[in-house]
Structure 1
């Protein structure tokens, strides 16, 4: 998903519905004027994105989303394009501003076709104005069939406000959803468009505040914030007389027998993200592989208690495994943390073992970084439940574990239990082995350098994603986790 907006606030559908009329009134404009602006901005974007398009199909429902569609169709007709407008459920009467927009379309000589009379493959662009944010319950007939036909078509799709059938607050399909190539959303960016399935369904996301941003913001409470690396918290410059011990000591615990790769990636990521000293505690059989090729990483399999006392931040989990050795290491780490309260990051099998062993980390500064599968185990639910509402899942984990939480995935979420942020950057090429291990190292290094857990999570997640985007400029397919290292170093200076 490509974003065409700066870091911004995110809103629930209800917040937008509730406050949009008052914001329009305060701005001195009517709701119909907002509908006209929405239609105009949609048509302007359509012409910019698909400048050679001549045949447009606009599919409308009977709500205000359909009214926006009528405005787009009228503008396309006036521009001399070949426009076919199909109305789903034509027997239902339009009302209010949508009725006024429909009447303007008819006054221009436009026709309203039945969906069966439209060939979606014959168009250059399909404009989806079927269902808006007011959808309640699952998509029903005849919308199910129309959405299926649109998705089966090879024609690119531009959705108005939200891909029809997508839940505005969670991004999950409500039975079935349009897969858009682009979505233009209005007034406030909806929560469900920027993470998980919603991020995929909306394609390129474009935002237009319709000219009421200044009156809308004071009225509506933001539920979360979309964050770019450029707006993330920063580290202060290093002092000229700084020494390695002043830049943080990171202890990476993991690398069970036969699994040295993950903790090796974590350790180098910590170094590349500015940690002054990095040690790895791993299984004796993994030591040679972890140490090979990176002499700056100190490796040991002895005296875990002493190493924990040495560290300014602890990372436990990458490549840890679930063996007897792994369980012993987890117990020893927790016992040590009872005596020395250290900021601690738990990831991967560290999370799985905590759940299995029914243990809690005795750290007042805990950060956890689950992917959806690990999150499901932490919440005792299935993965689909996590992905159906990622915002609820990240908040529940933060509350249940008293931890700053990063829920990884498309549009990674960060929650400190009170506030929530969504990482705007990242790409599908990052869905490969070791990326999460690199993220753990990045976060551990930032914490070791003195950042709070929340600031480290915000900076680290966005820096990791931005590095992935830079690496992806050489191609997403075939990108590997260690490709991020030079970009992490570049971005952290």
Structure 2
């Protein structure tokens, strides 16, 4: 009998992320180890989805369940049977195929038919009173665009006014990469099973997943014995990186940071990076920039130490600083090139961003003491490929960047990827569309630089900096929306996340 007591833990999204390829093998191994059949796991998945649908839409009376010709469709048959059993009207559409259904899905279909369920063809006319759609068309095994019949069914689901709950993954979204090569379900909610998959977080995921829910189907204890290759990172982990400061701490032991940039017309970039570094807790921040920028920067933010960039001031600053950040507003002319040539000889921890990355693409090198923070366009230049190639597999792109350039890579975008040459990989599960405006990268550079100066390891500084950056933007988005958000606005909420011990109500 299906266990209807399986509860949805909608807010308990795990921090471990697994490859869909790994899961297909591990699911059978886990079932064998626990004395379960794969059909029993399918029944658990269907029960979990049924419970979630009832919890989210308790007034819904007529469900349309769209089933594919695989095990994802089998989950849909289970949901349909359970819904019908409690008096909900169910219209079930199923894709046809010349191939037999997998064994577990065939059992679920037969149970639906034995319960007097009816299976309609995909082109069946939808009843007028459908108030909830269950997407069980395509699952995590998809690796290309949905075929015509599936694509037509997906589009029909999207065109209907009823909310959609996707089972395991929205149909048409690739589980490994988050790419959408063709038609894809625009889900209101997605309930994923057993493990998180990368494609639910990165790529186009945020456009189509809706609110993400998770259920381990009773395999939690078994999974604890496995080591995940990817970590989902959010503000819950900040406290482990940023403990409260000792009462006797002072500016000297909070780190000395030098930032280099701000060519003609780009003083704003280096100012935002410098101020973000102060707000993220660096003890002393020095800015080297064009002479014309010195007075305006000192006037705007007197806590910064601002000097004209010259051979002497650069030599002195590289000797003085614990950490170096170069790139915001640097430009690609001789002024910036000469500064970068001197900085690249330093063995101190450093971060390269913006034009420093464009110059690096021209003269590539590999080093372990550097964090690079490319957006997809800069990443494409660094790897001599197209932006679409970068976005087609963001995890692979980050790995290629690490292998080519060393150190730590922060591949920015919707769900930023952080990767190290040691094989560590994190998906940064914060941030929002309001961050698509100028200066956001400059602020991030300052934050990560400040955390490096406070003695976090480069990988931890990159992860913590990205989380604090995105979480600060999320507070603003909740208060004011995403349109019109400015990079400098983040400085008003950043303190909530670089001081995670505050227990602010805004840092949920």
TM-score by length of 1: 0.93
| Aligned: 1:432 with 2:442 | no
Aligned residues of 2:235 and 2:497 also touching (Cα < 8 A): no
Q: Classify 1:333/1:215 alpha carbon distance in 2 versus 1 (closer, same or farther; 3 Å).
A: closer
Aligned residues of 1:367 and 1:405 also touching (Cα < 8 A): yes
| Aligned: 1:134 with 2:144 | no
**Which ranges of 4 or more aligned residues in structure 1 deviate by more than 6 Å?**
none
2:218 aligns to what?
A: 211
Aligned residues of 1:254 and 1:318 also touching (Cα < 8 A): yes
| Aligned: 1:234 with 2:241 | yes
Larger CA deviation: 273-282 vs 136-145: 136-145
Question: What is the deviation of 1:221?
Answer: 4.7
TM-score by length of 2: 0.91
| Aligned: 1:444 with 2:449 | yes
CA distance in 1, matches of 2:189, 2:72: 16
1:318-349 residue CA offsets vs partner (Å, 9 max, x unmatched): 12222332223222333xxx2x4211100111
Question: What is the deviation of 1:293?
Answer: 1.8
Question: What is the deviation of 1:149?
Answer: 2.4
| Aligned: 1:102 with 2:105 | no
The one of 424, 428, 433 aligned to 1:423 = 428
Question: What is the deviation of 1:90?
Answer: 6.0
The one of 27, 46, 55 aligned to 2:53 = 46
Larger CA deviation: 75-84 vs 322-331: 322-331
Question: What is the deviation of 1:135?
Answer: 2.3
The one of 34, 41, 52 aligned to 2:41 = 34
Consecutive unaligned residues of structure 1, counting only runs of 5 or more, are: none
Question: What is the deviation of 1:136?
Answer: 4.1
Q: Classify 1:137/1:235 alpha carbon distance in 2 versus 1 (closer, same or farther; 3 Å).
A: closer
Question: What is the deviation of 1:40?
Answer: 1.0
Alignment of 1:189-204 (within 5 A): 189-204=196-211
| Aligned: 1:326 with 2:336 | yes
Aligned residues of 2:192 and 2:215 also touching (Cα < 8 A): yes
| Aligned: 1:257 with 2:261 | no
Aligned residues of 2:13 and 2:214 also touching (Cα < 8 A): no
Aligned residues of 2:14 and 2:196 also touching (Cα < 8 A): no
CA distance in 1, matches of 2:193, 2:151: 25
Alignment of 1:171-186 (within 5 A): 171-186=178-193
1:49-69 residue CA offsets vs partner (Å, 9 max, x unmatched): 223322211110121110100
The one of 446, 453, 459 aligned to 1:454 = 459
CA distance in 2, matches of 1:120, 1:62: 23
1:409 aligns to what?
A: 413
Aligned partner of residue 382 in structure 2, secondary structure = helix
Question: What is the deviation of 1:407?
Answer: 1.0
Aligned partner of residue 374 in structure 2, secondary structure = coil
Larger CA deviation: 430-439 vs 391-400: 430-439
CA distance in 1, matches of 2:127, 2:147: 20
Q: Classify 1:415/1:113 alpha carbon distance in 2 versus 1 (closer, same or farther; 3 Å).
A: same
1:246-280 residue CA offsets vs partner (Å, 9 max, x unmatched): 21111111111001111111101100111011111
CA distance in 2, matches of 1:424, 1:244: 31
Aligned residues of 2:251 and 2:283 also touching (Cα < 8 A): yes
CA distance in 2, matches of 1:7, 1:250: 35
Question: What is the deviation of 1:198?
Answer: 2.4
Aligned residues of 1:21 and 1:31 also touching (Cα < 8 A): yes
Aligned residues of 2:13 and 2:213 also touching (Cα < 8 A): no
1:135-156 residue CA offsets vs partner (Å, 9 max, x unmatched): 2443222112222222333332
2:472 aligns to what?
A: 467
Aligned residues of 1:168 and 1:191 also touching (Cα < 8 A): yes
CA distance in 2, matches of 1:37, 1:430: 39
Consecutive unaligned residues of structure 2, counting only runs of 5 or more, are: 1-8, 500-508
Aligned residues of 1:314 and 1:444 also touching (Cα < 8 A): yes
Question: What is the deviation of 1:450?
Answer: 1.0
Aligned partner of residue 199 in structure 1, secondary structure = helix
